[in-house]
Amino acid sequence: MRALRFPTWSFRVAALLLLLPACAQRKLPEIEFTLSAPGVKRSFAPLAALAEYLELPNGGNELRITLSSYPLSCDTFRAPTAEEILVTVTLVTGADTQITPNSYPWAGHPRTGEAPQARSAEPIIRIGARSWSLAPGGQIKLQEAPLDRERVISGLLDFEFPGTAEAGASRLSGAFKAKLCQVERLKPGNPN
């Protein structure tokens, strides 16, 4: 019995065709949002995903996550123009509460005289010169939160307000990975 002989090039082509899907660049997860008041529903794959961390002198902490539909860098910031989208989520913790992988709800701003929540996250969406602070509801879930410069913060946006007779529904959702660009430690005794 005689062995079948295939040309060497056919094996190379077959191997290349099998490897192509693995080499294809994966699309970044999309961020989706709905603002019923102006009737806006959009989604975008962020071209920039950045974060800034600040330890406050009063003992609290702040982590700001910025996702944009246009290029930004750690060294330069610009406001969105025309139809460009900028989503900012600011996480705040009370005195001596660290920012760690956890859920941070958005329950709205405290009323005058009320103590702030131990953990909260406020989402703001900008399209061009217009901006919207989402109505209370939902949360951000941090999955990874290493608070060292050049590390990556990852998580899931899961903000949703079902709407009422006075205010329409709103939603902000999607997974993200943001590069931690800036770390400021303003607490007494911490060198900056």
State the pLDDT at residue 98. Answer: 86
State the pLDDT at residue 191. Answer: 53
pTM of the model: 0.80
24 burial class (0-12, 13-18, 19+ CB within 10 angstroms)?
exposed
Task: Give the residue extent of every domain in the chain.
Answer: 28-185
State the pLDDT at residue 39. Answer: 83
State the pLDDT at residue 186. Answer: 79
State the pLDDT at residue 2. Answer: 53
* Sign, Cα dihedral of 31, 134, 182, 154: negative
CA distances (Å), origin 5, targets 1, 2, 8, 17, 91: 12, 9, 9, 20, 64
Q: What string of pLDDT tens digits covers the 192 residues of the chain?
A: 555 554 554 444 444 344 444 433 445 579 999 997 778 899 999 999 999 999 988 778 999 999 999 999 998 889 999 999 999 999 999 877 889 999 999 998 878 877 777 889 999 999 999 999 999 999 999 999 998 888 999 999 999 998 887 888 899 999 999 999 999 987 666 555
State the pLDDT at residue 119. Answer: 86
Give me the phi and psi of 20, to 5 degrees please: -55, -50
Tokens found for residue 73: 């860098």
State the pLDDT at residue 71. Answer: 95
